A and B are shown apart, each in its own frame.
Chain A
Amino acid sequence: MPAVQETVERVKRIDVDQYRYGFETLIDSEKAPKGLSEEIVKFISQKKNEPAWMLQWRLEAYRRWLTMTEPTWARVNYPKIDFQDIHYYAAPKPKKTVTSLDEIDPEILKTYEKLGIPLREVAMLEGIEPKVGEDDPARRKIAVDAVFDSVSVATTFKAELKKAGVIFMPISEAIREHPELVQKYLGSVVPTSDNFYATLNSAVFSDGSFVYVPPGVRCPMELSTYFRINERNTGQFERTLIIADKGSYVSYLEGCTAPQRDENQLHAAVVELVALDDAEIKYSTVQNWYPGNSEGKGGIYNFVTKRGDCRGANSKISWTQVETGSAITWKYPSCILRGDNSRGEFYSIAISNGFQQVDSGTKMIHLGKNTSSRIISKGIAAGKSQNTYRGLVTAHRKATGARNFTACDSLLIGDKCGAHTVPYIEAKNSSATFEHEATTSKISEDVLFYCIQRGLSQEEAVGLVVNGFVKDVLQQLPMEFAVEAQKLISISLEGSVG
């Protein structure tokens, strides 16, 4: 069955306004009391058995945070967040120390099963174990780190990755087991003082993923983290740190879902990527946090800082994101092109429906010589949503030969939504070549009628046209996720026409 057809089938089975990941898992959990103070920061650090330096780092961030104010420049509106009304730590109550998957609370395993995320170490495509001695390169494996509320509950394929020298583990473990790497790189891309939400994250982050790929190693499988917010009134603050050492390569995927709730929940993550000489990191996100209901009630506030540092010469960092969820998205995955000849890429599909507000884009900061960057952004606004692309492209004085190409396309469905493009372009070097293209169009009635005359329903027609619109970006996703994303796009847009 072709993917589009499958999409269409899926859309048909789902009622309008039904978020398929909206279920809640009933498990025993341990929560910190509501509110934020030095005591809470110490509590979190203690829960994680952290060394003293880590606690100091957190406390410095916390003290800094107290002096900061929330940014208000984004094109999003929401009631003021009461930061003392949030639990900053929640963890599924461990029955005992977990050493293998079999010991994890079966309710949690079921949750991930429902989400379609394999926590068993099986080959992803066929869903069967390869036979002994069989090494089929076409059968791709994906290693998964599952983060449930504030803690990582499982990381698969650890042993196999270890053989290749790749470290893939919860960051809380990495702090204890690889302090030299964490201390060297944590906060080196997004400093603790970076911005209000990143600073908050630095103080209270409880888990996330850590990846280190040693020199010359091509990571043998896709790495993936699935974030799930389950607890009520809980903020999720995960921290991801990926280091690709000289000449290495890694592809990393991130997926997010949350239960359907009437209240808004805060998600403030920080992701730091470091690519050394000749290294490449490909980071893909399929973000599907609960977007709120058809009246705009509930949904996740997604205030995320993601930044990659092309620290070495000839390094490359590529961000691909499919953003369909969250009530509010405030997110600008960026690249610092420090190394000579380094390259940054940003491919984005941002879909907003209902009352969603998206303010997303990227920053490409050209510092090294002959650096290049490429931005392809596809924004789709439907319902009563507002969808803003905000981007910054700068070339430093010494960034001779910097090149950027930007294409921002917006598609409007219906007449109650808005699409906005806010590009900032700054060249301090006369040899820089920056190109910017932008289009805004409405989904064409003639195109829809053409499809419908050929037998497609209205929703099938919209799904088809939108999938065509975003094709350039979908192609950048690893294959399994491209299919998933394609389905998600159609589901996100259901009920958007008529």
Chain B
Amino acid sequence: MALLEVKDLKVRVEEREILHGLTLTVNEGEVHAIMGPNGSGKSTLSHVIAGKPGYEVTDGQILFRGEDLLEMDPDERAAKGVFLAFQYPVEIPGVATMNFLRTALNAQRKARGEGEYSTPDFLKKVREVSKSLNIPQDMLKRGVNVGFSGGEKKRNEVLQMALFEPSLCILDEMDSGLDIDALRIAADGVNALRSPGRAMIVITHYQRLLNYIVPDFVHVMSKGRVVKSGDKELALELEASGYAQFEDAA
């Protein structure tokens, strides 16, 4: 069974159709890149999979391990293993990052009927992961993303990904706002999380990110549809020729 099956998905936002019948299948262990120009519907797809309010699915379905994902609340989806790394992670003043991580992790574990982490186990795990991501401990005491640099915010997303151990990671424009060094650290973090049991969908505008996170498959989106699929070579091809060639195909 595929991990994620998106079938002929049609999505509207305020009476305007954004996705016009999108189909995508992702198996465990695979890394899929979704590329496309601004406004092609890449972020909409990631939001609909995660369950963000404000989108109306008019047709099609999304199955996660064969279960109807659209029937689930967003927090249920998270507990099932759907993780969205945000393009613009939000700031939550007054809520210490450490507290947030622990509250979220325990909420997910509880939803799955698992016990809560003990404090020493939790701290040990956070320390390990944050060290590998070059996240200083004092950052974890600060409010969630408050005063974080662009790179720190993205590393904080990867930190959560590592802690929550989701089976599907969707990375929405992870490279936006990052310089090359910050990008490398974040990408190394993501690569360390690649595993046979985990799939990733990497949404990006530029090929650059895919030099660091090398995908198994590349899909080109234009005007709310996947217009071309291929392997990693397709990304290089795009870099050379641009998206214009697909405008008509859509």
Q: Which residues of A contact B (CB under 8 A)?
A: 1-2, 4-5, 8, 444-447, 449-458, 460, 464-465, 467-472
Contact = CB atoms under 8 A, between A and B. Distances in A.
A463 to B, nearest CB: 10
Contacts of B160: 454
A241 B46 CA distance: 61
B115 interface: no
CB-based closest 8 A-B pairs? A468-B94, A471-B94, A468-B95, A455-B108, A454-B104, A455-B78, A455-B107, A450-B90
B17 interface: no
Contacts, number: 88
A487 B213 CA distance: 43
A468 B74 contact: no
A227 B53 CA distance: 44
A39 B108 CA distance: 64
Nearest to B104: A454
30 contacts: A1-B116, A2-B102, A4-B103, A5-B106, A444-B90, A446-B90, A447-B91, A451-B92, A451-B100, A452-B51, A452-B73, A453-B78, A453-B83, A454-B104, A454-B107, A455-B75, A455-B108, A456-B103, A457-B75, A460-B103, A464-B92, A464-B100, A465-B92, A467-B94, A468-B92, A468-B94, A468-B95, A468-B143, A470-B94, A471-B93
B109 to A, nearest CB: 9
Contacts of B147: none
A450 B94 contact: no
Q: Which residue, B53, B103, B164, has most C-beta atoms of chain A within 10 A?
A: B103
B126 interface: no
A467 B100 CA distance: 12
Interface string B76-104: 00110001101001111111000110111
B111 interface: yes
A453 B92 CA distance: 14
Contacts of A460: 103, 107
Contact of A455 (B52, B91, B94, B104): B104
B50 interface: yes
Interface in B125-143: 143
Contact of B95 (A5, A8, A445, A465): A465
Q: Which residue, B50, B89, B90, B160, has most C-beta atoms of chain A within 10 A?
A: B90
B111 to A, nearest CB: 7
Contacts of A458: 75
Contacts of B91: 447
Interface residues of B, number: 33
Interface in B24-80: 50-53, 73-75, 78-79
A456 B107 contact: yes
Contacts of A1: 116
A453 B53 contact: no
A2 B103 contact: yes
Contacts of A455: 75, 78-79, 104-105, 107-108, 111, 164
B128 to A, nearest CB: 20
B95 A464 contact: yes
A168 B174 CA distance: 62
B93 A469 contact: yes
Contact of B74 (A8, A453, A465, A469): A453
Given A455-B79, A468-B143, A445 B53 contact: yes
Q: Which residue, A1, A449, A465, has most C-beta atoms of chain B within 10 A?
A: A449
B164 A454 contact: yes
Given A2-B99, A5-B103, A460-B107, A453 B84 contact: yes
B35 to A, nearest CB: 23
A263 to B, nearest CB: 38
Nearest to B85: A453
A450 B75 contact: no
Q: Which residue, B51, B92, B105, B111, has most C-beta atoms of chain A within 10 A?
A: B92
A444 B145 CA distance: 15
Contacts of B107: 5, 8, 454-457, 460
Nearest to A446: B90
Nearest to A9: B110
Contacts of A468: 92-95, 143
B53 A451 contact: no
Given A5-B106, A8-B107, A446-B90, 18 more contacts: A4-B103, A5-B107, A449-B52, A449-B53, A453-B50, A453-B51, A454-B107, A454-B108, A454-B164, A455-B78, A455-B107, A455-B111, A457-B73, A460-B107, A465-B95, A467-B94, A468-B92, A468-B94
A68 B102 CA distance: 56
Q: Which residue, B52, B75, B111, has most C-beta atoms of chain A within 10 A?
A: B75
Given A4-B103, A449-B53, A456 B75 contact: yes
